[in-house]
Structure 1
Amino acid sequence: MVGINREEKVVLVSIFVLVIGFFTGLYYRRVDHILRTSWMIAYLLAVLWLPRKYKRPDGTLGALLSPFYNEGITAMTSVFLAAHASLVNVPFTNVDLFNVACRNVDMISHSLGGLVLWLFLVSILRELFSEMPWRKVIIYSFALLLVIGVGWEIAEWFGSHFTEGILKETIPNKIRDVLMEQLGALFGLWMVTKKGYPFSPPRE
């Protein structure tokens, strides 16, 4: 019988939270939340199953898939997804903190999202460019995160022209979102360099 380690337990708890969110969405007939929690549950089940079923491939493909084979990254991704879904629709209620009731809580999602995305970027960069100095990996990963964050905010601004207000945010709010993502990444940098989790920096 295959044992369940700490990271897998975190993922399973996150899936349980998402399942509660799924049934909450069904009860309140929130189609958006039903779809949201459905793909999140499917994603987490897939990344639990993938490393057990298939060995990570070699070469470029293996480097690109490396985050999905890191149990620590998967665990933190699951926490991010469960937290974000719970903010968008608080379990057992029809309260949307993220978009309606308390929009400042989006700082939680942006910081956790920045942390997870930065870990993805670093994992891929260090595998693709194994000879790259660690300092450059850090610089490039933060730069890429910034580009992605700004691009996301621009996409939201563009999308706000076709919605009834959910995506409409002020410029200061958008700047804050990008800064929170960078703050999450800084926490990730501290985890990696000081705690060696979910991976350790290379020795130089």
Structure 2
Amino acid sequence: MAISTLLLAAEEGGGHSDENVLVPPVSELLIGILAFGLLVAFFFWKVYPQIRRTYAERSDRIEGNLARAERTQREAEDLLVSYRRQLAEAQDEAGRIRQDAREQGQQILDSLRAQAGEEVAEIKARGEAQLAAERAQVVAQIRREIGEIALELATKIVGHELQRDDRQRQLIDDFIAGLDRPADGTTVPAPAGPGG
């Protein structure tokens, strides 16, 4: 469209046939070059430094942000490694605590078992001692009763009452000792009674 406009303008001004329509006059060409030069000079004098400054600021900001991001990422990775190490240490510590608790529990269990065994042995010994004492008491009481029955029987057989003194006690002891003797003639030791 611009070419057709130029061609129309060239035809209308038809008085200058020796001039080329496509080549502008030298004065206009010089003014255009001078204006373009001034525009380029203004661009390099005012606009380009501003563009460079803005570009530099943005570059610095972007590089600073990248550096901060890299530093933050390194710190985060270091922190992650530290947390993982602390977690591993905490897990190891928890394992040691569990093992110590198991060992202490086993020691307490062994101690309680030993203590219970001692108490059982003590109770058993006391029970056996008490049983032996009760047995001796029962045997002594049975001996007295058998002696008294034997003395009454002897009194009825002899026909008069025997005097109750040391001689009577000796007769009873001899009679009971004779009961304790087995058939083969050996003597079985009689438990000591309260009277002797």
TM class, shorter-chain normalised? under 0.3
Scaled by the length of structure 1, the TM-score of the pair is 0.19
Scaled by the length of structure 2, the TM-score of the pair is 0.19
Q: Give the greater-gyration-radius structure (CA).
A: 2
Higher RCO (CA 8 Å, separation ≥ 6 residues): 1
